[in-house]
Copies of this chain bind each other. A is one copy, B any other.
């Protein structure tokens, strides 16, 4: 299958591209390298050095594996670049990660909120128009987030819900209550994509993904230039990464608020498996299909306690600290999201084990001297910066 990975220089994009190439698919990636700019803008860096994209691609393409084609350019601000990829490569599946991925980044200022929404929404619109023009039968696999739903007081279904109201029924989009301008941008995307499916007959799977953890996949381990990024900072680092790094650095784990916030999580290996299952079992023409992509739910405090346990078993002294919550979110709430679709397609989850967390802490210990203590504490707040 011809597979185009948008955002191929990113945390998930690189591993995804290699995963499909390893399986014998024809793979191309596109990226505007903006994540590297955002890191520079914030003064943060992945814990382990990520080589420039050409070097990463060379490491892969010289390894004897099936070649990956690289396009560098901006799909959001240069639609001719987007169109040229679709015209040239003619993808059958498009895996779209090419978005600004951080909630705190989007809440930093007006500029960052607007840039996040314009980048994500216009990029996805350009992809939809490119598909309509050049590959109307291709399958768009779009990465959304579980954070689009927020934390409603009812069970979270997979994108759609049957509503009975005043004696009549309809199947409707599940109402969303996202928690940042970033999460809102994904909700906007979902609405735009649903429309393109309904009106143009585009096929799409919207993957509402939980928080991904882990950095190692079968392919990232093949060569040191093929590793993917590990962020522990307050902007791009998610809870588990940040806690494990704090444990190593001897900084108390910063649990925001009570830590009762529950979220869906999954291992990066399961991300690759889910995206592959979606690609091999495409949506039908005109279908807007939504899968909730996570394997387990944890509260933030659960994660902190797991990290504390793992750190202590390795001889570290680990403290947990309830930090004033920089976000506006419910800290105690109902959370029962469904995730049966990918399981029925055959997903075999890698559940989070104490061994896995210990492995993470050990890996971070090997780079202890690279940890920047200044970028761990949250400085971006939801109320006013």
Contact = CB atoms under 8 A, between A and B. Distances in A.
A303 to B, nearest CB: 24
B79 A198 contact: no
Interface in A188-225: 188, 191-192, 194-195, 198-200
Residue among A165, A170, A384 having the largest count of chain B Cβ atoms under 10 Å: A165
A125 B117 contact: yes
A154 B168 contact: yes
A157 B132 CA distance: 34
A165 B117 CA distance: 31
Q: How many copies does the complex hold?
A: 2
- Report, as a range, how many residues of chain A touch the other chain: 35 or more
Contacts of A121: 117-118, 121, 188
A109 B79 CA distance: 12
A176 B177 CA distance: 13
Contacts of A174: 175
A23 interface: no
Interface in A151-183: 152-155, 157, 161, 163-166, 168-170, 172-181
A221 to B, nearest CB: 40
A184 B173 contact: no
A81 interface: no
A28 to B, nearest CB: 21
Contact of A125 (B110, B161, B198): B110
A73 to B, nearest CB: 16
Contact of A154 (B79, B169, B191, B198): B169
Given A154-B169, A172-B177, A173-B177, 7 more contacts: A118-B121, A121-B188, A153-B169, A153-B170, A154-B172, A173-B175, A200-B384
